[in-house]
């Protein structure tokens, strides 16, 4: 039993895919974490290439959302909720639209110039462009 548990613990990290930030193929070739953070917390409205940005977030409760925000915005879910509540209440901004799955995020980004989102690295194909691996 102990050996099985140890084997499972050792295999678990390998099963997790890394988060990657993606844009429409017409988007910029690369971005840094600060540029991406600024889009997802409403500080910026444009991609580095001048396109109007359309950030797309995963819905709350998705493990990849937690990973993305921890690595890129530096905020937990509770901190994000508090931040956006204040932004909305003071009229300073609205949170990015959310979708329920990484496949929905990928499809939306692939079909929307200016869109930016994040998915598991294993889901990347020619329909989107990776601009950051945080």
pLDDT confidence bin for 1, thresholds 50/70/90 = low
Contact 22, 129 (CB under 8 A): yes
Whole-prediction pTM: 0.85
Cα separation values, 97 from 109, 122, 124, 132, Å: 12, 23, 21, 20
Which residue matches tokens 């990973």?
A: 67
**What is the mean pLDDT of the segment spanning 33-49?**
95
116 strand-pairing partners: 23, 55
pLDDT: is 63 or 2 the higher one?
63
The correct CATH number of 17-132 out of 3.40.50.2000, 3.40.50.620, 3.60.20.10, 3.40.190.10 is 3.40.190.10
Domain residue ranges in the chain: 17-132
Backbone torsions φ then ψ of 73, nearest 5 degrees: -90, -15
- Decide if pLDDT at 15 tops 80: no
Contact 91, 42 (CB under 8 A): no
Contact 24, 129 (CB under 8 A): yes
Contact 23, 53 (CB under 8 A): no
Q: Can you give the pLDDT at residue 9?
A: 46
pLDDT digits (tens, 9 = 90+) for 61-116: 999 999 999 999 999 999 999 999 999 999 999 999 999 999 999 999 999 999 99
- Decide if pLDDT at 38 tops 70: yes
- Decide if pLDDT at 8 tops 50: no
Mean pLDDT of the chain: 89
Sign of CA dihedral 107, 61, 119, 37: positive
């Amino acid at each position: 039993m102990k050996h099985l548990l140890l084997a499972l613990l050792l295999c678990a990290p390998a099963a997790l895919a890394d988060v990657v930030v993606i844009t429409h193929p017409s988007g910029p070739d690369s971005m840094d974490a600060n540029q991406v953070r600024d889009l997802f917390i409403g500080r910026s409205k444009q991609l580095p290439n001048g396109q109007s940005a359309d950030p797309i977030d995963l819905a709350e409760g998705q493990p990849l959302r937690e990973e993305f925000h921890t690595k890129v915005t530096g905020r937990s879910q509770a901190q994000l909720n508090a931040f956006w509540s204040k932004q909305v209440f003071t009229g300073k901004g609205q949170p990015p639209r959310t979708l329920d799955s990484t496949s929905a995020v990928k499809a939306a980004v692939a079909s929307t110039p200016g869109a930016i989102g994040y998915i598991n690295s294993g889901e990347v194909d020619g329909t989107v462009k990776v601009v950051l691996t945080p």
